Copies of this chain bind each other. A is one copy, B any other.
């Protein structure tokens, strides 16, 4: 192995990765001649059929360029301005989107629900929904629910877990949204079809992420119930998310789902995460803060070890609000050499500390 030891290894986020070659090639292919703007081009025209095939059902697909836009637009479709959205207290939309769901919905209320490893606890969820109902007109109307698959803490809902959540949602007539910014990683882990962990599990609207998994800037809002898509195109337009040269966003999504590329990329990230999680847990004092089921690993470790890794050029993310917890994220292009080097460093620092 001749990896350059002085180069940084960036495990802060999968957002830091470059565009996958297949997707960049698609952008370049799209760049010939003139095309109708605002989504009336040929590539955009092919997207619906491609996503229908992927999800094995009728659906509406609208490309946007960020996960926050996808989430917030989706939530605003299924939550009136006077509505409440139940979501995990650590859901990305509650902690990292600067109030985007509140903004897009015109002031709907996110009701944070607890649960281990960023998965909604069904009992806590039921309790919050019941409490909301008791308050009547004095509190926002229970309207929708959002789950993340995989979750903000790198865990993955099992089919039974998801069905239990969606059962609660349906019992209270809540529409269900899934934040699938890292859906590919979850599906790779579950070895299920995209349908199984989305609409067949009760999801009405999906934020289908590609950017964290190799795209340049491309996400898709996927609406499984046509009636829920009414007005969505205008919402996207007035939020500034109807890209004029849409062909370049659509081209990314088309390449992303063609021939299983997205699952191939997600699988690579997951394999790297697995190797990293297994290896790091062997270092004394290092434990998983959450199950490492996708491409995010949350580790409890000593300040000493964290500093040592940083000094060795390994970049990762101290988790806000939790002392001694650090997040490592692998991407489709994290190499086995990089993983090896991280493990070597950690082992060395661990040895020196004892």
Contact = CB atoms under 8 A, between A and B. Distances in A.
A5 interface: no
Given A16-B34, A321-B131, A138 B244 contact: no
Given A13-B37, A16-B35, A107-B106, A66 B244 contact: yes
B106 A81 contact: yes
A9 B237 CA distance: 27
A28 to B, nearest CB: 7
A338 to B, nearest CB: 10
B320 A131 contact: yes
**Protomer copies:** 4
Contacts of A80: 231
Nearest to A238: B98
A237 B33 contact: no
Contact of A99 (B17, B82, B212): B82
Given A235-B82, A248-B216, A240 B141 contact: no
Given A82-B235, A238-B100, A320-B135, A211 B108 contact: no
A98 B140 contact: yes
Contacts of A211: 244-245
Given A81-B106, A96-B135, A134-B321, A241 B38 contact: no
Number of contact residues on A: which range applies? 35 or more
Contacts of A134: 320-321
A156 B34 CA distance: 26
Which residue, of A68, A134, A248, has the highest number of chain B Cβ atoms within 10 A? A68
A193 interface: no
A95 interface: yes
8 shortest A-B CB distances, which residue pairs? A69-B240, A106-B106, A102-B107, A15-B37, A82-B234, A10-B34, A15-B244, A134-B320
21 contacts: A8-B34, A15-B245, A27-B27, A66-B242, A69-B241, A70-B240, A81-B81, A96-B138, A97-B237, A97-B238, A98-B238, A99-B109, A99-B238, A100-B239, A102-B108, A103-B107, A104-B107, A107-B238, A131-B321, A239-B239, A240-B241
Interface of A: 8, 10, 12-13, 15-19, 24, 27-28, 31-38, 64-70, 72-73, 80-82, 84, 95-100, 102-110, 112, 127, 131, 134-135, 137-141, 211-212, 216-217, 231, 233-235, 237-245, 248-249, 320-321, 331
Given A19-B248, A141-B231, 17 more contacts: A38-B137, A64-B240, A65-B243, A66-B242, A66-B243, A66-B244, A70-B240, A95-B135, A97-B138, A98-B234, A109-B110, A127-B321, A137-B242, A141-B234, A211-B245, A216-B245, A217-B244
